[in-house]
Amino acid sequence: MCSPPPTGGKGVRLAPSKEQTGRVVVGIAELKVSGVPEQLLVTYALGSCLGVCIYDPVARVGGLLHAMLPSAQMDPAKGRSNPARFVDTGVPTLFKQAYALGAVKERIIVSVAGGASMTAGDREDGFQIGKRNFLEFKKLLWRNGVVLRDQDVGGNISRTVSLDISTGEVRVKTGTQEYSLSRRYPR
């Protein structure tokens, strides 16, 4: 998770310029990284998908990934054309984009939400995409010596996740409840 950032690819792009502030929506199979304090990165409808937030409190650089599936091995061509679609290609790309804006691996705070089982009623989730997404994510962090600080995963609810670039606060909304997933970051 420390080689130079990619030069393009669908779903991989830096957040808008400093002239553009406010809410920046991260769609499904997209990631955005920002160093603009006035921006709030937000992604909606995280079911089995994972919303991965990273934040460097010194550089005040953060990013948000909305990954759909655990591994690009399912479809390597799609993994190359849109790394944000998969956990195993999206997470390294998220880190590389943050490094390009001045983030440092040792300072990055990692939070994750999603990974739910979205089957209705008593039906069993045979594919277990949510669990597999989270397992792939934990393996990636472990292999790269990165610590997961905050998480809200599993269950059977959809989540909205936001990352405030000015503070690093990660907020999660489920239905009518909204709460901070973050511990207070030192400024």
Find how far residue 112's CA is from the centre of its chain. 7
**Residue in 49, 65, 163, 165 annotated catalytic:** 49
Q: Is 53 a catalytic residue?
A: no
Q: Interior CA angle at 83 toward 164 and 107, to 5°?
A: 40
What does the DSSP assignment read for the chain?
Answer: --SPPPS--TTEEEPPPTT--EEEE--TTEEEEE--TTEEEEEEEESSSEEEEEEETTTTEEEEEEE-BS-GGG-HHHHHH-GGGBHHHHHHHHHHHHHHTT--GGG-EEEEEE------TT---SS-HHHHHHHHHHHHHHHTT--EEEEEE-TT--EEEEEETTT--EEEEETTEEEE-SPPPP-
Considering just the CA atoms, what is the radius of gyration of the chain in Å?
15
Tell me the catalytic residues: 49
